[in-house]
Structures are given as structure tokens and as C-alpha cells.
Amino acid sequence: MNQSSTEQLKKTPLNARHRAHGARMVPFGGWDMPVEYSGIVNEHLTVRTKAGLFDVSHMGQIEVAGKDALAAVQKISTNDAAKLSVGQAQLSGLTTPEGTLIDDLLVYRLAGDHYMLVVNAGNIEKDYKWIVEQSRQGGDVAVVNSSSRYALLAVQGPAALGIVQQLTSVELAEIQYYWFAHGEVGGVRSIISRTGYTGEDGVEIFIPPASAERLWNTILETGADAGIVPVGLGARDTLRLEAGMRLSGQDFDETTTMLEAGLGWIVGWNKGDFIGRVALEHQKSEGLTRKLVGFEMTAPGIARHGYTVYAAGAEGIVTSGTQTPFLKKAIGLAYLPIAATANGSEFEIDIRGRRAPARVVPSQFYKRPRS
Amino acid sequence: MYPADRRYTKDHEWIIVSGNRGRVGITDYAQKQLGDVVFVESPDVGRTVTQGQSAGTIESVKAVSEIYSPATGTVVEANPVLATKPETVNSDPHGSGWLFEVELTKPGEIDSLMTNEQYAELVK
């Protein structure tokens, strides 16, 4: 996410609030975003043990509506949207004809013929353009970039539901994982979604931008006793990596296929045609030559994005890597030659000229305890 | 904020000299910029380091940064605390979070470094 210094960064409705409260700000995907408030480690641990509040208003919303909306969504995205009931969401991929990833997204079924696609901040324009192009001649379908109509707050952590429940009459426990409901939170009209990007329980709340600061402050006040803290993108990144969630543009992009990125589980093989299907079926039957896997370092050292990997006589590349605050291990994701991708398989990573040993492990490094 | 008993570099290291031995660390400003330190790779004991040249790395959760030696000499000790508690660099950067000690071979070059007042001006 390189940003030229002259380019005007976009701001969420909470930008002034973040600055006034001492967040460290960085450019991310064209946006001026908080990277940390009280420190990445503290924020990360608080989300794992209590709760954290995230401003993720930079995420984009693209709505697809009309009699032929389902057909359009089925064509452009990999997962089977026909399985969605109204009030349900699914993770999916936006693919090229080669089966590589333009972006990943969440598909929400808002109404019978009305879907909302939630896409990554840096890709909003690109995704929107692609979806519009692919939906032309798609019959009765309208595609609207409604990103500016929503602010998005995420409340995540074991105490998250308890905090938000104090602010709404919607029974949050009755919203299943990857379902959503309409209602008021703190007097603000909301879509309350039982989703997140941290590996913890929690909700993401879509609200009108004008109400964002009020609800942000209300949630922090309400959750104060439970220990809620504001969380920046730094901990969002370490939390998602610890939970084995891939990051668009970093762990996959238009040079890597759904299957290589380990996202075959969100390909709806039983549905009809979609963009990239032929290429993915071909790759599935031919077999992969490389795959994204989780790894942990077995000697001191931290592998970072872009480091070269030596495995099974060939090279690979690290796409994400950090020292995780909760597990206190150096972990990451890397594309490895297929011969080296079995769990427990050992390989080496070039850490600034020194070869350090690492081992393949399941990429869901952290799994929250379920009650 | 920045103690007067030592000298500072533009790369945000400090050095306290006693006799011909110098103790090296990073400044409070530097640790704040780095964020949570999770790994410190100090130079091995016995290695020769050169003023202004890389002598190791500090890794925070976010990123990796070079440590530039404030002085030329031979490394005689690395802070053993940091192997298990690298976060000491954040909590006490000017004290127990020091990085390594060098036997100075060019003690005169310390005079080229900034005083605490000059450094405070730099990071103001």
C-alpha cells in the first residue's frame, strides 16, 4: 500500500476523534487511519481477553439490487450466494477469469433481490468498476457504490456482545455467526452483523456516518467497566494473522489463485458458472504447484512480508509475518512449493541474509475457546 | 527527559561512557516510534562495530529497524535481560533497556555526538 505524499488521503467520520485522542495515524489503502492507540500489544491482548473497538469505516460497500441481482452476484463471486437467506452473510472471492483474486469480500443478503458486498478499502474503486463491467447485459440489476453512506464500527472480544447488548433491544445472542439484524444501537439505526476479523466473538455495526462519533463514544463509555479499548489497524493485523485470516493485497492478489491462497473452501463448486471457474477447475484437477501455508519460526527471528523462503529445493515467499502478542511466537503465512506444504515440514527463511529455520503449522494459529 | 550523562546520535541511539567503555541504548523517542519491541538482535560479543554503521536490529510488532552503533570498538557485553524481556526497551529505554557495551577504540569520536539539549531540539 504505497502512498505518494501528495495524494489526498481519505478520512473516516472518526478521523478527528482519532487524532484528538492521540492515535498514531498512518496511510493505509488511500486512507488516513489509526495504527495504534495504546500500543499494538496492549490492544491485541485486550481484544483477546476483554474487548476492543475498531473504526473500520474505510471498508467499502457495493450494493447489487434488482430482479437479476442473485445471478450477478453468482457470476462475479466464487461462493454460492444462492445459499444465503435474507439476514445472512458469507465470505467470498472476487476473481479474474484466471481464478486469481481481485479482492475478497463479504456478501450480505439484505433483502430478496438486494445484496451488499463489503470490500477492502484500497480496492473499492477497482472492485466497483469490475463489478459494473461484469454486470452489464446482466438484465435487471443495479450496482451502486454506497461506501460513503456507511460508517462501520467493530466491537470484538469475549466481552463485546455483553457491552453492545446494553445499547440495543436486539437479542444479540440470537444472531448466529455470519448473520445480521437491523435495529438501533445506542439510538442509532444500524445493521448489526455477527462477524469480525480478529478470531474473537463480536459484532460489526453499519451506521450512518453522521452518527459514528456519537456511537463510538457511547460504546467506549458503556464498555469502560468491561475494559474496552480503542484498537488501531496494527492490532487488527496481528489479530487477523493469529486467527489465520488472509489479508487482501498482501496474502493474495491478482497473481495468486483462490486455491493457491487456501480459499478453496469459499468456492461454490456446486453452483453454476462464475468468473474464473474454468481456470480453477483446471488447476484443481492438475494439482497446485504452490500453496499458502501457516508457519512458525523454530529459532529466534521474525519473518516479514516479502522475505524469501527456501523449501524443497525451490523458493517461496513470506506474505505476512510477525511476533504474535498473544501466542508469543513468531508466525506467518508463506507461499511454499507444494512438496513442502505438509504440516510439520521444515524449511528456511532468509532473514536479512541469515537463513532461519521454520516449520509448517496449521494457519489458524489461534482458536478462541468456545463456551 | 533526555539525561545529561550521555551523548546522542541522529539515529536515536545514546551512549554513556565510563573509562573506555561505552553502554549503548535507544532513546525514549525511538522506542515510541518503534512501538512494542518484541525481539532485539544485539551484536555478538567480540564483534567490531563502527560508528554510524549497523550493529544489530530491533524488531517491533510492526517492523524491523537497524541499530547504528554510536561508537567504534569491540562489543564486550549484550544486555542479557533483552533475550527474555525485549519489552524492557520500551519500559526503560534510558536505563535497564540498554542494548550492548563496547570497548571504545576511538574515544575521541564521542565528542562528535549530540548533547542531551541538542538531541531534545532534534526530536522536538
The DSSP code sequence of A82-134 is GGPPTTBEEEEEEE-TTSBEEEEEEEEEEETTEEEEEE-GGGHHHHHHHHHHH
Whether the complex's predicted ipTM surpasses the cut of 0.95: no
Q: Is the pLDDT of residue A365 over 50?
A: yes
A325: chain B residues, CB-CB within 8 Å? 36, 38, 61
Mean confidence (pLDDT) of chain B: 95
Model-level pTM?
0.92
B41: chain A residues, CB-CB within 8 Å? 300
Question: What is the DSSP-derived secondary structure letter of residue B107?
Answer: G
Burial A353-365 (b: 16+ CB within 10 A, else e): eeebebebbebeb
Whether A107 contacts A92, CB under 8 Å: yes
| Mean pLDDT value across residues A286-297 | 98
- Reduced to 3 states, what is the DSSP secondary structure of residue A316? strand
d(CA B70, CA B8): 8
| Mean pLDDT value across residues B42-71 | 94
Residue A76 identity: I
- pLDDT recorded at residue B11: 95
pLDDT per position as a tens digit, A133-154: 999 988 999 999 999 999 999 9
Whether A317 contacts A306, CB under 8 Å: yes
Whether B31 contacts B89, CB under 8 Å: yes
Sheet with B13-18: strands ordered across: B7-8, B13-18, B21-26, B100-104, B73-78, B48-49
Distances (CA, A) of A31 to A34, A37, A114: 10, 17, 28
Q: Is the pLDDT of residue A2 over 60?
A: no
For chain B, helix (H) and strand (E) counts, in that order, are 4, 9
Q: Is the pLDDT of residue B18 over 70?
A: yes
Taking the CA of residue B22 and the nearest CA in chain A, the distance in Å comes to 27
Of A233, A250, A204, A239, nearest to A103 by C-alpha is A250
Contact B36 A322 (CB under 8 A): no
| Mean pLDDT value across residues B23-34 | 96
Q: How far apart are the first and last CA of chain A?
A: 38
Taking the CA of residue A234 and the nearest CA in chain B, the distance in Å comes to 7
Instruction: Name the closest residue on chain A to residue B83, using Cα atoms.
Output: A300
B38: chain A residues, CB-CB within 8 Å? 41, 302, 323, 325
Query: Confidence class of residue A161 from pLDDT cuts 50, 70 and 90?
Result: very high
Query: Confidence class of residue A1 from pLDDT cuts 50, 70 and 90?
Result: very low
Taking the CA of residue A250 and the nearest CA in chain B, the distance in Å comes to 15
Chain A contact for B39 (CB, 8 A cutoff) = yes
Q: Tell which phi-psi region holds residue A369, choosing left (phi > 0), alpha (psi between -120 and 50) or beta.
A: beta
B29: chain A residues, CB-CB within 8 Å? none
| Mean pLDDT value across residues A89-102 | 98
